[in-house]
Chains A and B, each alone.
Chain A
Amino acid sequence: MRAHEPDRTGVIERDGTEIYYEVHGSGDQTLMLIPPSPITHSRIYKAQIPFLARTNRVVTFDGRGNGRSGRPNQVDEHTRSENIDDILAVLDETESTTSVLVAHCHANWWAVEFASRHPDRVDGLVAIEPGVPYVGLGHPHWSEASATFDDHLDDPSDWSLFNREVISNQHRKWIEFFFDAQLVEPYSTKQFEDAVGWALESTGDVLVAGEEGIEVDSPEREELVKQCREISCPVLVIHGTRDVCQAIDKGRALAELTRGELVELEESGHLALARDPVMVNRAIGDFVERRVKQKMKTTTWTRGLDRPKRALYVSSPIGLGHARRDIAVAKELKKLQPDLHVDWLAQDPVTRVLEAEGETIHPASEWLASESAHFVDRTTEHNLHAFQALREMDEILVNNFMIFQEVIEDGHYDLVIADEAWDIDHFWHENPELKRGAHVWFTDFVGYLPMPSGGEREAFVAADYNAEMIAHIERFPRIRDQALFVGAPDDIVPETFGMDLPKIRDWTEQHFEFPGYITGFTPPDPADVPGIREELGFGPDEQVAVVTVGGSGVGRALLERIIEAYPLAKRHVPGLRMIVVAGPRIDPNSLPAHEGLEVVGYVPRLYRQLSVCDLAIVQGGLTTTMELTAARRPFIYFPLEDHFEQNFHVRHRLDRYGAGRHMEFASSDAEAIADAISSEIGKQVDYGHVETDGAAKAAARIAKLV
């Protein structure tokens, strides 16, 4: 799922070539994001668009030859004039009278020439890692490769892969070499996969035509230098010092010729906009506000001692489990710090729980892109590849971090409590100068673990993510003021972070404190169980099984299979009563009916039913299974396939408590489920004890920080 869907899309046709464009957001100032095509397309700006579109109108398009635009493959269809006319046509079509041009790499040549031809249409230029010929010294590997571009090479490698024959016939080979060379920063697997994927949406022939077309009618040095000097609008150049495509000297020279501002990103490579998105976004946003809009504004600053104590609580929105434990922690914290005001930056469905509890939701919450919807979107049948889903959430995380950072900079918060709010922890380590307030990090698992289905590549990538996290924490111990593991050291999986990396348990014990498990509710006293059952209409000797898949709308496949097992189970357990909770997003009437089977929609305070039932059948999420463990009910759980947390971390913890019966969805047919129901229902359990003071212990540690 994208962090921001376009408000308008369209296609224009120029001389038989379709050009696809998008408009995001609204506002008086238009920004035109020009992709360097055809090697990539507008998705290269995926980390910028949602942020910039919040306060500007953003127009972008897929350049000819890639994305959703046409694939012309003749040299004369890829000239600078054609590309510049595409820009003009998109601006005209979207009624963008004037705009700030934002360009990357060689698209800056088009931008400079556009500004020269149409100065009245340009309010400003943001040149990211610009490549304008004659402007600054380029890398010699380009001129060397260009010399043999048209030759047949027997054994091309490295930069000599920049060759007509290679690009035409072994497109992927060139593309993978090129982007691997560009991503000089460690831990860039996702950016690499993205860039290669976008490039391969086009073909080698189109790319060759593009490489040749841009040079057609190339102007003399003097003319280009004059064009740059004559740019009268404000200019910002952003350039990584380790850019292997466009040498930093080229950015410095363009800034000098245009009297522009220069932001040098030390140690960043050519894809800083993808690899250091927060820094790049802030530089662009600041430039547009300060130099282009020049808007006068009112700001308020409060003297230190006049500030009320404030905390911002950011609760992971993926599922509802965290909301309850976070509310429990916030309540304990307020007991210790009665004058502490807590705001929540939260998303649906967490906001519903918070509202019901009377908590204060920060208004910026409505700008957040939905992480929950992204996970639902990535779930099929009974499968959720949680690690890959998290990786694919990268642009949502950038978007949400930018919002968080604005809130924290405006709000004088003393404390940020981040319960698996990945964006905050990750980007504060990536941009440590942005940290404001004390940071409390909560998690109930440490370490991405590869699923066997992901093969070697996933094992490598998961280890790479873990290595980055370890490097973050060890380099910047000041970012997390308090790191709390929800649970005990024994809950940590006996695995390593990957090849040549530490054991997860050893490392976590060194870097976390352990307040114990935090339940969102107190399990009923055994003496109260008969009374609650009576209230809920459960007979004293009735055998009641409750089936739930949570509220996310995923899980229909599991419900259907359990319903199929119901008549079979009833043969073993006469009088078996089964309550299937479909949740708010699955229509109960769409599920099969049987006598003795009740299918209901949303059940408020479902934990009460779960805490007194005779058997629960659930997915493998931590919160629900631990609620059942704390309430000492027998249960069967089916971890979502490919969900590393449910299959490894949660399962390990439940095994430690001796709780629940694990079943695999794929290998469990209705008969097997029916057998399991009959053997588990009403069983006496001897689970380990689940503590109920975790929230208070966590709050005591947090309270010291404010």
Chain B
Amino acid sequence: MRAKEADFTGQVVRDGVTLGYEVYGSGDTTVLLMPTWTIIHSRFWKFQIPYLARHYRVITYDGPGNGRSDRITDPVRYRSDEYAADAIAVLDECGVDHVIAVGLSRGASYASVLARNHPERVSGVVLIGAALAIAPPPPERAGIAEHFSKSYPPNPQGWDKYNLAYWHDNYEDFVRFFMGKVFSEPFSTKAFDDSVGWGLETGPHILEAEAANGEGLAADEVLASIECPVLVIHGTDDQIISPEVGRRAAEITGGALISLEGSGHMPLAKDPVRVNYALREFIESVAP
């Protein structure tokens, strides 16, 4: 059973791609919980939705490739501009004028581009564990770009598994490896099992399409163009995206930064109470 069922579940079709969305709660303020890397789908917001929906209208949707959305293999559909256009399509479908957009990891990129492309539709942006190329990745991830498309070594270890061929050969092991890195906090078995399960609802061909999107986003310029208030949340023990990215993002946007000492890449699952309060406080300050 879910802690809160959606008040409305629907689908929107944009350019022939069907996207599943959900609406929870009601209120003058709307919070859009954006999709992230399509390895997981909108259920990753499960600890935020019931709390936020008590105070606001909350909209979630699945990006292309996972959840209740089409499993598209056209790489172009995985660019941030396209995610932003999807978001607008969902908002239009729901009759919502403007939102506070919250993005995790790659979702931070989608939320930032949404705010840049449609400033009149976004009154606040929250970037959590933001995957934005504005600071170097953690050292052990540095070689990924170079070896991603090559053959992987026999008996691959660690980030060796972030490899296209390996995805196809041993997708589940990759997902398990990756989620292990996401949840660097001790005692994370449930969060880990959840995310692995969502990961197995899609497959390597979808991740392959996403990886081929050819997007070379000038993230610093996108951030600098955001006009609305920004909140950045970043774990100091984030193994996927270095905390330095969070610091830079706050600096560029002039936003507030909440640094979570000891937290990993997905604090919304491991530190839900602190994250929920942070979201509430920010939303209240933007839309009192």
Contacts and interface: CB of A to CB of B under 8 A. Distances in A.
Contact of B259 (A290, A298, A306): A298
A300 B262 CA distance: 10
Interface of A is mostly: mixed
Contacts of A302: 260-262
A305 interface: yes
Contacts of A261: 288
A299 B257 contact: yes
A408 B271 CA distance: 21
Interface of B is mostly: mixed
A298 B271 CA distance: 18
B285 A294 contact: yes
B186 interface: yes
A303 B185 contact: yes
Interface string B244-288: 000000100011111111110000001100100000000001001
A298 B262 contact: no
B179 to A, nearest CB: 19
Given A290-B285, A296-B255, A296-B256, A306 B261 contact: yes
A470 to B, nearest CB: 36
Classify chain B: how many residues form its interface, as a range.
20 to 34
A297 interface: yes
B279 to A, nearest CB: 13
Contacts of B288: 261, 291
A305 B255 CA distance: 28
A301 B262 CA distance: 9
Contacts, number: 46
A303 B263 contact: yes
A290 B271 CA distance: 24
B259 A299 contact: yes
Given A296-B250, A296-B255, A301 B261 contact: yes
A291 B260 CA distance: 25
B186 A301 contact: no
Nearest to B253: A296
Given A294-B285, A296-B250, A301-B274, A306 B256 contact: no
Contacts of A296: 229-230, 250, 254-257
Interface string A332-360: 00000000000000000000000000000
Contacts of A294: 285
Contacts of A298: 250, 256-259
B283 to A, nearest CB: 13
A303 B271 contact: yes
A263 B101 CA distance: 29
A261 B274 CA distance: 25
Q: Which of A294, A303, A305, A306 has the most CB of B within 10 A?
A: A303
Nearest to A300: B259
A74 to B, nearest CB: 45
Contact of B262 (A290, A291, A306): A306
A300 to B, nearest CB: 5
A297 B259 CA distance: 11
Interface string A276-312: 0000000000000011001011111111011000000
Contacts of B256: 296-299
Interface in B124-182: none
Contacts of B261: 300-303, 306
Contacts of B185: 303
A86 B237 CA distance: 56
A303 B273 CA distance: 11
Given A297-B257, A302-B260, 4 more contacts: A299-B256, A299-B258, A301-B261, A303-B262
Which 6 A/B pairs are nearest by Cβ-Cβ distance?
A306-B262, A302-B261, A303-B262, A296-B256, A298-B257, A300-B259
